[in-house]
């Protein structure tokens, strides 16, 4: 039974290799094999190769200084962080909140077998994320330093011990996430918030990596002495992989005991969490209460707005640009004077500040192009599109509601950046108005263009919402087309800056954007509405 459950668990984890989520059918053997090979190449060649190169740049100098243990401590901690991040949500979904928990628990299967199969799935996921780091690290160590059988065995046992530590931490954090999840009404905002924090940490570490590595290599002796004196656990952790039998025994013992304790605690709480239901709000019955009426436009907008907020995938993939726009607004406030001084110095033409204002307009258009909320909005109606089509309303109002959500999420942050730039740069009156108007016209264009492309290329037969959001050629076309237009505006500013007056250049671009928006709007109102009704 354990073998069957584990096979089921593996199929669920790697379902996308064998199941086409767009068509809802099983993939062919050849197609599945290609996906698996591509995924293996991505992991081994790209991510594994990156860590192989990083390990090779550090191993020689650290080992020559007798800091083998520091080498393994650094990469061991990176592997733990990477493994926990990659498997904690799989722990939450696959162990505590699996959709088939009720079904399996109703069968004559021991709870311990169900739980153990799920734990094995979590362990394999954590091992994959940590192994892609530690296996190249161990290979570099065995190549650079004199090879011994003891070092090889120590590295293998170290990798297995780290994967057990990742399992323990993932189970603990997954338990916390599961408990919090049961008490939350709207989980999507929390998911988005956690994902944004993770993205921020990733990019911070990525850009700081070279600086940190250089500091570690240059100050290895002093850092090592401090760790030995005040953090013996880290010293023993790294030294276990370097062939120290005593430290290796300590690490293995601690990881095994931690796993046994975790297994015992999960066994006691598994049934309670797996069969629990999320907290629901209690509603007090107040007798006959008149319902509040709402207009058609407001009701359609609220429908689109709630649909947007209910999906972390939708927010993170189609509205991540808003985060960069708000970050740009903060940067303008904090470093605005320096930034605008640099922009003004770029242009040697007359009225350099005006050309800098034009460049900011182009940058704001590029930032606005990162959002594509309307691009999958028709497809996301899915098989429920008939509900809108059957209502006695003008379907163009539904299309406008989708556009309004895009403008609300993108246009307001862009307006904030425009106002801050206007205050700090103080361009001429005409360019000041353009600094407000032109980015908003571009935001409207991105909304209308995304809706148009999705009407032409809808996908209503998906089984997973990530398919129309992320695995959609139309979304890619929309986002890259918008970026190209923003880039063309900036390129024209540099190429034509010495030949054409900036005011005339902005007028021409504004006029083109206005005309294009009117044409697309009228097309949506007439032909687009008919297409929407016939889908």
Strand partners, 355: none
Residue 210 has pLDDT above 60, yes or no: no
As given in the structure block, the two tokens for residue 221 are 């002796």
Residue 320 has pLDDT above 90, yes or no: no
Q: What is the pLDDT of residues 229-287, one digit of tens each?
A: 566 788 888 888 888 898 889 889 999 999 899 888 887 777 776 666 555 555 565 55
Q: What is the pLDDT of residues 438-487, one digit of tens each?
A: 999 999 999 999 999 999 888 888 766 777 887 777 888 888 889 899 88
262 & 313 share domain: no
Cα-based angle 98, 101, 105 (whole degrees, multiple of 5):
165
Could you give the CA distance from residue 105 to residue 87 in angstroms, rounded to a whole number?
24
Rounded to the nearest 10°, the torsion over CA 504, 509, 514, 518 is 130
Answer yes or no: is 43 within a domain: yes
Q: Which domain holds residue 133?
A: 2-9+27-274
Could you give the CA distance from residue 442 to residue 512 in angstroms, rounded to a whole number?
10
257 & 310 share domain: no
Q: Considering 219, 241, 274, which residue would you say is the last residue of a domain?
A: 274
Answer yes or no: is 284 within a domain: no
Could you report how far apart the first and last alpha carbons of the chain are, in Å? 46
Identify which has the larger pLDDT, 14 or 257. 257
Answer yes or no: is 279 within a domain: no
Q: Considering 241, 274, 307, which residue would you say is the last residue of a domain?
A: 274
80 & 111 share domain: yes
With residue 50 as reference, give the H or E element that holds it. Answer: helix 49-64
362 & 264 share domain: no
Residue 223 has pLDDT above 80, yes or no: no
Look at residue 27 in the predicted model and tell me its pLDDT: 74
Length of the chain: 535
Answer yes or no: is 417 within a domain: yes
Answer yes or no: is 290 within a domain: no
Look at residue 349 in the predicted model and tell me its pLDDT: 47
As given in the structure block, the two tokens for residue 249 are 């025994």
395 & 466 share domain: yes
Q: What is the pLDDT of residues 108-162, one digit of tens each?
A: 777 777 777 778 877 887 888 888 889 999 999 999 988 889 989 999 999 999 9
Residue 350 region by backbone torsions, left for phi larger than 0, else alpha for psi between -120 and 50, else beta: beta
189 & 316 share domain: no
243 & 321 share domain: no
Nearest CA to 250 out of 58, 59, 69, 86 is that of 69
Cα→Cα distances 282→81, 185, 279, Å: 39, 12, 9
221 & 339 share domain: no
Identify which has the larger pLDDT, 224 or 281. 224
Q: What burial letters (b/e) apply to 460-473, b meaning 16+ CB within 10 Å?
A: eebebbbbbbbebe
Position 520 confidence tier, pLDDT thresholds 50, 70, 90? very high
Task: Give me the chain's average pLDDT, please.
Answer: 80
270 & 338 share domain: no
Answer yes or no: is 17 within a domain: no
DSSP, collapsed to helix, strand or coil, labels residue 26 as strand
Answer yes or no: is 18 within a domain: no
Rounded to an integer, the average pLDDT of 83-94 is 67
Phi, psi of 23 (to 5 degrees): -95, -15
227 & 269 share domain: yes
Cα-based angle 251, 254, 258 (whole degrees, multiple of 5):
140
Sign for the CA dihedral angle at 390, 395, 400, 403 comes to positive
Cα→Cα distances 295→323, 388, 408, 511, Å: 32, 15, 19, 34
Answer yes or no: is 245 within a domain: yes
304 & 270 share domain: no
Number of independent structural domains in the chain: 2
259 & 327 share domain: no
Residue 90 has pLDDT above 90, yes or no: no
């Amino acid at each position: 039974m354990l073998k069957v459950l584990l096979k089921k668990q593996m199929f669920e984890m790697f379902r996308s290799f064998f199941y086409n989520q767009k068509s809802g059918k099983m993939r062919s053997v050849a197609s599945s094999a290609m996906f698996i090979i591509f995924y293996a190449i991505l992991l081994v060649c790209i991510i594994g190769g990156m860590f192989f190169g990083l390990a090779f740049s550090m191993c020689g100098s650290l080992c020559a200084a007798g800091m083998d243990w520091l080498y393994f401590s650094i990469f061991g901690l990176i592997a733990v962080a990477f493994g926990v991040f990659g498997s904690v949500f799989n722990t939450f979904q696959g162990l505590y909140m699996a959709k088939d928990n009720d079904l399996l628990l109703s069968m004559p299967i021991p709870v311990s077998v169900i739980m153990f199969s799920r734990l094995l799935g979590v362990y394999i996921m954590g091992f994959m994320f940590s192994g892609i780091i530690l296996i190249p690290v161990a290979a570099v160590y065995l190549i650079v330093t004199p090879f011994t059988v003891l070092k090889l065995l120590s590295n293998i046992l170290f990798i297995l011990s780290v994967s057990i530590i990742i399992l323990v931490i993932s189970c603990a954090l997954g338990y916390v996430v599961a408990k919090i999840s049961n008490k939350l009404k709207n989980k999507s905002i929390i998911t988005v918030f956690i994902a944004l924090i993770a993205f921020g940490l990733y990019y911070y570490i990525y850009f700081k990596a070279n600086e940190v590595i250089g500091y570690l290599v240059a100050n290895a002796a002093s850092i090592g002495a401090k760790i030995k004196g005040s953090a013996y656990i880290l010293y023993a952790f790294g030294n276990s992989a370097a062939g120290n039998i005593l430290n290796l025994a300590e690490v293995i013992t601690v990881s095994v005991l931690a796993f046994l304790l975790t297994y015992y605690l999960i066994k006691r709480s598994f049934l309670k969490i797996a069969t629990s239901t999320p907290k629901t709000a209690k509603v007090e019955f107040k007798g006959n209460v008149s319902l509040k009426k709402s207009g058609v436009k407001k009701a359609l907008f609220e429908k689109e707005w709630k649909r947007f907020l209910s999906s972390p995938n939708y927010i993170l993939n189609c509205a991540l640009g808003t985060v960069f726009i708000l970050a740009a607004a903060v940067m303008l406030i904090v470093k605005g004077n320096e930034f605008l001084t640099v922009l003004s110095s770029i242009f040697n033409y007359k009225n350099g500040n005006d050309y800098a204002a034009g460049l900011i307009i182009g940058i704001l258009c590029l930032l606005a192009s990162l959002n594509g909320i309307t691009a999958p909005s028709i497809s996301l109606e899915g098989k429920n599109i008939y509900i809108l089509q059957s209502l006695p309303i003008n379907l163009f109002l539904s299309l406008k509601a989708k556009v309004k959500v895009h403008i609300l999420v993108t246009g307001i942050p862009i307006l904030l950046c425009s106002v801050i730039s206007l205050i700090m740069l103080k361009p001429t009156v005409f360019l000041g108005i353009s600094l407000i108007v032109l980015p908003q016209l571009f935001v409207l264009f991105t909304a209308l263009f995304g809706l148009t492309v999705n009407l032409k290329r809808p996908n209503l037969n998906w089984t997973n919402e990530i398919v129309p959001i992320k695995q959609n050629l139309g979304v890619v076309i929309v986002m890259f087309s918008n970026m190209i237009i923003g880039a063309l505006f900036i390129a024209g500013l540099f190429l034509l800056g010495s030949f054409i007056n900036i005011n005339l250049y902005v007028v021409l671009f504004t006029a083109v954007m206005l005309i294009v928006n009117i044409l697309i709007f009228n097309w949506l109102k007439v032909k687009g509405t008919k297409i929407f009704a016939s889908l």
